[in-house]
Chains A and B, each alone.
Chain A
Amino acid sequence: MYLGERQKVMEQGIILEARNITKVYPGGVVANHNVNLEIQKGEIHALVGENGAGKSTLMKMLFGMLKPTEGQIFVDGKEVHFTSSSDAIAAGLGMVHQHFMQVPSMTVADNLILGAETGAFFKVDRKKAVQITKELSEKYNLKVDAQKKVEDISLAMRQKLEILKALYRGANILILDEPTAVLTPQETEELFEQLKLLRENGHTIIFISHKLNEVKALCNRMTILRDGKTMGTYDVSELSEQEISRLMVGRDVSLDIEKDDAAFGKTVFSVKDLNYVDHFGKTRLDHVSFSIKQGQILGIAGIDGNGQSELVEAIVGTLKPQGGKVTMNGKDLTNLSVLKRQEAGISHVSEDRLKYGTAPKLSLEDNMISKVYYTKRLKTGGLIDSKKVTAFTKGILDEFLVKYDNTKQSVSELSGGNVQKLVVGREYDYDPELLIMNQPTRGIDVGAIEFIRKRIVEMRQKQKAILLVSADLSEVLSLSDTILVMHEGRIVGYIEDVKNTSENELGLYMLGVKEDARERIEGAYCE
């Protein structure tokens, strides 16, 4: 079969090829190991894989942002050695980054021409820039406001601008890095239509994703990456989603969680009518209400950026919503500080462990004691006792199987999975009544994922209330007792019968296609 496929490729022409690519980062992390990728002219080719499988690393090498340690890259059959992204651009590649590469204070037209300006050195021709923007925009049916500042346009329009930028620079191979993460379902649909149009115009597209339904809907072929290695290239129609998952993860998915039947206790925690509008005027939380009981894992599903982060912030107290109430065991927390809320029994594993969850430059000890540093537990004679701190830190690190040299080393020296275990250990040790897990397994290795999920179930067994926010649907489905789905700041789905719910059904809610009746959703809240 391999040979046959090879034959087919030869006929159609390979426009981009990565051969035996290996990338070792400083510090010894092997992100890509002998990776092979062949892109045919005029196809939409998916690159799928779990977080940390090496997708982004591979793309950065193809786009000249990183240099491969070993291996070769060919464009149109000729070997290339990119030293910067400008080389890649010159070779006809264009990249739509996950975080848009735009200057917010400049106009759409200025951003389009930046680095390849119209006019003379001493006089940029703005009129022409606007004109070109309009022409390109019409030609590819990607509508943008040429004269608006980028900071004033929507994410969807920014993405269109990003695609136009690549096209303006003459790209015939477009790389899109998880482009749908920031889009609403309608916008996703629209994007797919536009991408198909580009394909018809003879462009080649590499579509990076871990959303299998999207890959199925859009792509011709796909290459699967796992742990930095290629697991083969297939026709999309050739494999079922189940089979793709297996190739991505390396074993049957449904990381089976063994848990007892639910035994809920009394209601511990509630939010009622939380409302928040951010300073761009965008509604982030829209009358969000729910309760969590002892021994209950309440899962929040939703596409990233639909209000989940703001919800968590409003609960832990780092964000002041404009309306609504937060209560814990009947106590009103709404106007209390972050610290007071912690003391009321809230623990929180934040969505970004290095940005919010730790001070990476400080020692494991300093990071471990952030919840208890002011308590008597660590003090002798009124002063913090370093022996007690070390013992405390060691205790948790060992219990949570963190791999470390010594407790004085800095957090930045640990791997992602170990940092996350440190954070989880710290928050567990606080013995909270409500544990918030925001993206608890994002971007960490499978071993750490399993460990952390088991710990979450263990907390449930101890009759703790748990709020699980995750973009990973299989995680939400396998762990939660009850699921709420958020869409554009609202709760649109309330699912009690988790066992009989599928990812597809959750997907419908997440896309805003399906919405439960108000009365039903109100059932998520109880006094």
Chain B
Amino acid sequence: MNVFQEIINTLSLPEFYFAMFRSATPVLLTTLGAMISSRSGTSNIALEGTMLISAFVGVVVSAFSQSAWLGFLAAVFAGFVISNILAYFVLKLHSNAIISGIALNTFASGGTIFVLYLITGEKGASTSLPSLKLPSVNIPIIQDIPVIGAVLSGHHILTYAALILVVVVWYMFKYTRLGMHIRAVGESPDAAESVGIHVQRVKYIALSLSGILTGMAGAFLSMGYVGLFSSGMTAGRGYIALATQAIAAGNAVVGMLASLLFGFCQSLANYLQSSNIPLQFIQLMPYLIIVVAYTAYCALVEHNKKKKQMKAAAHK
């Protein structure tokens, strides 16, 4: 009875929406990454593992260099490297992209623990490493507006970066040469090749970009609010991004909305942990809602296709 009340209360808190943006950030970055690789014609299943490795590398490098930015760069570079390994196997050696992705995820989940143990002697988390965090940023003027300031200001720098990147990715596909080439290569590689576009090179670039964005997502996870790496900390966010990417259908802005839907669920789940809803139901909710949203989206697309043909036939 008061579960409903509790949800209403939660939804009226500005902090809730702040947390929504926070939770959405890694998924948003990864969604953008997934979108770029998918539009270039390769589905990047290795995002989950890429994010995990980047999170790990960020923590380790920042701890040893005592520079948060160096850690961040290392995380991004790790994302770049992993996606290039995937690219090499898929594009050069013609491996199945899905299975190679699964292999890299396996590698990431075991490999990070393996190295973590080498460094710290522990397998669970990097608590003993003095790793650093990236800063949060207050936005002048906006921070002073009531409610809106509480929701939009004071976020982690990567949250703002993610929001800016939404525009960048949208712009890239719409207006830049690279964006055009990525679309062409993904949609009809033969056509792209016939006009002198280097198909392989464009695909490598697209996968690299997806790795870089996912690397940022990994850095956010371990160097954002938590400030440590724990094994399996990505918790399926790389897979969630596959669903949000599919819902976005190539549109970065829709991708942002889908990621915010996840952020919304995740944030709600966090707020309701103290309620009397069983904890596990709260934990499974983001996944369930995303799978429902994704399926509904697919059903809608299918429905529209059929309607179009029916209409054409009736016209006849």
Direct chain A–B contact by Cβ atoms under 8 Å: yes
- For B149-193 the 0/1 string (1 means CB < 8 A from A) is 000000000000000000000000001111011011001101111
In the assembled complex, A2 has its CB within 8 A of some CB on chain B: no
Contact A283 B316 (CB under 8 A): yes
Contact B195 A115 (CB under 8 A): yes
Contact A105 B175 (CB under 8 A): no
Contact B195 A124 (CB under 8 A): no
Contact B187 A105 (CB under 8 A): yes
* CB-contacts of A92-148 with B (<8 A): 95, 97, 99-106, 110-111, 114-117, 121-124
In the assembled complex, B94 has its CB within 8 A of some CB on chain A: no
Contact A281 B312 (CB under 8 A): yes
Query: Contacts of B192 on A, CB cut-off 8 Å?
Result: 103, 114-115
Contact A102 B196 (CB under 8 A): no
Query: Contacts of B316 on A, CB cut-off 8 Å?
Result: 275, 277, 283, 322
Contact B312 A86 (CB under 8 A): no
Contact A121 B178 (CB under 8 A): yes
* CB-contacts of B249-286 with A (<8 A): none
Query: Contacts of B175 on A, CB cut-off 8 Å?
Result: 122-124
Give the nearest-CB partner of B311 in chain A: A281
Query: Contacts of B303 on A, CB cut-off 8 Å?
Result: none
- For A158-172 the 0/1 string (1 means CB < 8 A from B) is 000000010001000
Shortest CB-to-CB span from A305 to chain B, Å, is 18
In the assembled complex, A356 has its CB within 8 A of some CB on chain B: no
Give the distance in Å from the alpha carbon of A114 to the alpha carbon of B188 in the complex.
12
Shortest CB-to-CB span from B288 to chain A, Å, is 32
Query: Contacts of A117 on B, CB cut-off 8 Å?
Result: 177, 180
In the assembled complex, A85 has its CB within 8 A of some CB on chain B: yes
Name the contact of B176 in the complex, choosing from A100, A102, A122 (C-beta under 8 A). Answer: A122
Contact A103 B183 (CB under 8 A): yes
Give the distance in Å from the alpha carbon of A123 to the alpha carbon of B174 in the complex.
9
Give the distance in Å from the alpha carbon of A101 to the alpha carbon of B197 in the complex.
12
Query: Contacts of A355 on B, CB cut-off 8 Å?
Result: none
Shortest CB-to-CB span from A438 to chain B, Å, is 24
Query: Contacts of A169 on B, CB cut-off 8 Å?
Result: 195
In the assembled complex, B92 has its CB within 8 A of some CB on chain A: no
Contact of A114 with B187 at beta-carbon distance under 8 Å, contacts A122-B175, A122-B176, A322-B316 already known: no
Give the distance in Å from the alpha carbon of A103 to the alpha carbon of B175 in the complex.
16
Contact of A104 with B180 at beta-carbon distance under 8 Å, contacts A114-B195, A116-B196 already known: no
In the assembled complex, A89 has its CB within 8 A of some CB on chain B: yes
Contact A277 B313 (CB under 8 A): yes
Contact B308 A279 (CB under 8 A): yes
Contact of A279 with B188 at beta-carbon distance under 8 Å, contacts A103-B183, A114-B180, A122-B176 already known: no
**Chain A interface main SS type:** loop
* CB-contacts of A425-483 with B (<8 A): none
Contact B312 A101 (CB under 8 A): no
Give the nearest-CB partner of A63 in chain B: B194
In the assembled complex, A84 has its CB within 8 A of some CB on chain B: yes
Query: Contacts of B194 on A, CB cut-off 8 Å?
Result: 65, 85, 95, 97, 101
Contact of A115 with B305 at beta-carbon distance under 8 Å, contacts A104-B188, A105-B187, A277-B312 already known: no
Give the distance in Å from the alpha carbon of A65 to the alpha carbon of B199 in the complex.
13
Contact of A110 with B180 at beta-carbon distance under 8 Å, contacts A102-B191, A277-B312, A281-B315 already known: yes
Name the contact of A103 in the complex, choosing from B178, B187, B196, B308 (C-beta under 8 A). Answer: B187
In the assembled complex, B309 has its CB within 8 A of some CB on chain A: yes
Query: Contacts of B309 on A, CB cut-off 8 Å?
Result: 277-279
Give the distance in Å from the alpha carbon of A275 to the alpha carbon of B316 in the complex.
10
Give the distance in Å from the alpha carbon of A355 to the alpha carbon of B80 in the complex.
38
Contact B197 A114 (CB under 8 A): yes
Query: Contacts of A97 on B, CB cut-off 8 Å?
Result: 194
Give the distance in Å from the alpha carbon of A129 to the alpha carbon of B188 in the complex.
20
* CB-contacts of B278-313 with A (<8 A): 305, 308-309, 312-313
Name the contact of B184 in the complex, choosing from A100, A106, A278, A279 (C-beta under 8 A). Answer: A106
Name the contact of A165 in the complex, choosing from B195, B308, B315 (C-beta under 8 A). Answer: B195
Give the nearest-CB partner of B191 in chain A: A101
Query: Contacts of A124 on B, CB cut-off 8 Å?
Result: 175-177, 180
Contact A103 B191 (CB under 8 A): yes
Q: Which of B175, B183, B187, B191 has the largest number of chain A CB atoms within 10 A?
A: B191
Give the distance in Å from the alpha carbon of A5 to the alpha carbon of B210 in the complex.
60
Query: Contacts of A279 on B, CB cut-off 8 Å?
Result: 305, 308-309, 312
Query: Contacts of B180 on A, CB cut-off 8 Å?
Result: 106, 110, 114, 117, 124
Query: Contacts of A114 on B, CB cut-off 8 Å?
Result: 180-181, 184, 191-192, 195, 197
Query: Contacts of A104 on B, CB cut-off 8 Å?
Result: 187-188
Query: Contacts of A278 on B, CB cut-off 8 Å?
Result: 309, 312
* CB-contacts of B54-94 with A (<8 A): none
Give the distance in Å from the alpha carbon of A89 to the alpha carbon of B197 in the complex.
12
Query: Contacts of B188 on A, CB cut-off 8 Å?
Result: 101-104
Known: A106-B183, A278-B312. 18 other contacts (CB 8 A): A84-B196, A89-B195, A101-B190, A102-B188, A103-B192, A104-B188, A105-B187, A106-B184, A114-B181, A114-B184, A114-B195, A115-B195, A117-B177, A123-B175, A169-B195, A278-B309, A279-B308, A281-B315
Residues of chain A whose beta carbon lies under 8 Å from any beta carbon of chain B: 65, 84-86, 89, 95, 97, 99-106, 110-111, 114-117, 121-124, 165, 169, 275, 277-281, 283, 322
Q: What are the 5 closest A-B residue pairs judged by CB atoms, nearest first?
A: A86-B196, A115-B195, A281-B312, A279-B309, A101-B194
17 contacts between A and B (CB under 8 A): A86-B196, A100-B191, A101-B194, A103-B188, A103-B191, A104-B187, A106-B183, A106-B184, A114-B191, A114-B192, A115-B195, A116-B196, A121-B178, A124-B175, A277-B312, A277-B313, A322-B313
